[in-house]
Amino acid sequence: MDEHEPYCDTPTDPGNAAGPAADAAPDEEFAECVLCREPTEYPASVKGAPLCPVCEWREAEKWACSG
């Protein structure tokens, strides 16, 4: 595998990518991350403790390696 090849296929147009924000109204604000206070991909009306993509990744790494 060439080091410049993408690991996985991703959509080239982010406007077509469906994700948590796809359900949000266009004018609705995004929720703050409960760990770092950065904006998340989730609408402000989401229930629970939303995390930003960076904190989600770090939490996943922590739990995956906790043997």
Query: Does residue 39 lie in a domain region?
Result: yes
pLDDT digits (tens, 9 = 90+) for 8-61: 665 565 554 555 555 555 678 999 999 999 999 999 999 999 999 999 999 999
Angle CA(8)–CA(36)–CA(64) in degrees, nearest 5?
45
Note whether residue 54 is domain-resident. Answer: yes
Residue 14 domain-assigned?
no
Kindly state whether residue 31 falls inside one of the protein's structural domains.
Answer: yes
Structural domain for 49, as ranges: 26-64
Q: Closest Cα partner for 54 from 27, 34, 25? A: 34
The answer to whether residue 64 scores a pLDDT higher than 70 is: yes
Q: Per the domain annotation, does 16 fall within a domain?
A: no
Judge whether 20 lies within some domain: no
What's the total number of domains in the chain?
1
